[in-house]
Amino acid sequence: MTETITGWLLDVYPNETNLTLWLIGADGQRYRFFQEFTATLYAAGPATRLRELWKWLAGQPIPLRLSRTQRRDVFQGLLFVLAVEVLQPARLDGLFRDMVAAFPELSYYDADISIPLRYAACFDVFPLARCRLEVRRDTVLNIVPLDTPWELEPEPAPLRVLSLEPDCDPGRAQPGAISVSYLRNGHSYERSHYSLPLEKPRPFLVGLRADIRRYDPDVILASWGDTWLLPFLLKLSQENGVSLPLNRDESQTVLERKERTYFSYGQMSTAAGRCCCAGAGISTRIT
């Protein structure tokens, strides 16, 4: 039986077989759905090498669809390319690395586009876009955007926000407590602001875990989040054997991306490390 659900798109990410979507329903419920999605990349080069790549891909233990097509290169015009449709999007990056290692002389296109960005371009949606979904049980059959990024006054999503803030600047002193506050629909919760002391790590973690499960936040707003608080919480959790449900989808792990430096436009730049959650967002407050 097909059902229509309206709400705000909270998160999209690949799982082992397809995509997971989280929706804040207009009825206030949080929904998790799954959707089939294909990620496509292209390879160009001599016909003989493309044929060898085709045979090589046909032997890979990944469900693929292969076809010969034409695409326009900005500098070379129309080219005959090999289209590689990956039916399990989570395996795209690993497959691409193997392709480059086996056929380094070929040119590749659309290989480094993230899965959420592909999804947004395919269905004309964006984070917290108001959408209408046609679903059957937990599977999305179709998604239609109900607003655009250019709306001046879009209907706001009823976000539940949990704020975490150390009681001092971690770059100057060791914090002694974490301040916790909770907002729902823009209004303070009845227990809106309190502190959890850090002197006893295990009781602190148990208390914070209970708060996250009770409030079930859509967004965790953390001061010094990427630079100190979240790495500190993850380390403390591991050392004390107390898990923190930072992911609403507990089948996923918190993705930690290390700080890195890179050379761009004649100068060295630094990209700070960050933590990414599935089914809930983490935002670092600038302090």
> What stretch of H or E contains 156?
none
Residue 210 has pLDDT above 90, yes or no: yes
| pLDDT tens digits along 79-102 | 999 999 999 999 999 999 999 999
b/e for 140-149, b at 16 or more Cβ within 10 A? beebebeeee
Cα–Cα separations (whole angstroms), residue 147 to 38, 115, 122, 275: 24, 22, 15, 29
42 confidence band (pLDDT: 50, 70, 90): very high
pLDDT in tens, 56-84: 999 999 999 999 999 999 899 999 999 99
- CA 143/CA 120 separation, integer angstroms: 11
Tens digit of each residue's pLDDT (9 = 90 or more) over 218-255: 988 889 888 889 889 999 999 999 999 988 887 777 76
Write down the mean pLDDT value for the chain: 89
Q: Is 261 helix (H, G, I), strand (E, B) or coil?
A: strand
Residue type, 93: D
Give the whole-angstrom CA distance, residue 246 versus residue 280: 8
How many percent of the chain have pLDDT more than 70? Answer: 90
Q: What burial class does residue 217 get, using C-beta atoms within 10 Å of its C-beta: 0-12 exposed, 13-18 middle, 19+ buried?
A: buried
